[in-house]
């Protein structure tokens, strides 16, 4: 399997979790937000949101910007799997 296919498979594996997809959709639509804002809007516990933000950041879907004690997350337009066009179609949940 070539590198592009492995990258795409890894992206789809990361996106197989509904909470992660909801986080990406929220950040893509509303811009940079901190953990508290994401938790409040998605009605998911803070530890769960933090866990998914860490995974999405490590996989390259999110940018992390620390401002003082707060960390803001945003969707990266240069996400790792642009070749698949996975976000070319609007996400509906």
Which neighbouring-strand residues pair with 66? 71
Rg, the chain, Cα only: 13
Best CATH choice for the domain 3-79 from the list 2.60.120.920, 1.20.20.10, 3.40.630.30, 1.10.10.10: 1.10.10.10
Beta strands across the sheet bearing 70-75: 33-34, 70-75, 62-67
- pLDDT tens readout for residues 6-40: 567 778 888 899 999 999 999 999 999 999 999 99
Predicted local confidence at residue 1, as pLDDT: 44
SS3 27: helix
- pLDDT tens readout for residues 46-86: 999 999 999 999 988 999 999 999 999 999 987 766 666 66
Sign of CA dihedral 44, 48, 54, 60: negative
Please state whether the predicted TM-score (pTM) of the whole model is above 0.85: no
Task: Look at residue 88 and tell me whether its pLDDT is greater than 80.
Answer: no
Which neighbouring-strand residues pair with 40? none
CA angle, residues 54, 9, 74, in degrees to nearest 5: 35
């Amino acid at each position: 399997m070539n590198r592009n296919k492995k990258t795409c498979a890894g992206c789809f594996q990361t996106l197989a979790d509904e909470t992660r997809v909801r986080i990406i959709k929220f950040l893509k639509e509303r811009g940079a937000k901190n953990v508290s804002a994401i938790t409040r809007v998605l009605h998911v516990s803070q530890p769960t949101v933090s866990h998914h933000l860490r995974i999405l950041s490590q996989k390259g879907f999110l940018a992390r910007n620390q401002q003082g004690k707060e960390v803001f997350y945003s969707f990266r337009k240069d996400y790792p799997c642009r070749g698949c066009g996975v976000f070319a179609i609007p996400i509906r949940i």
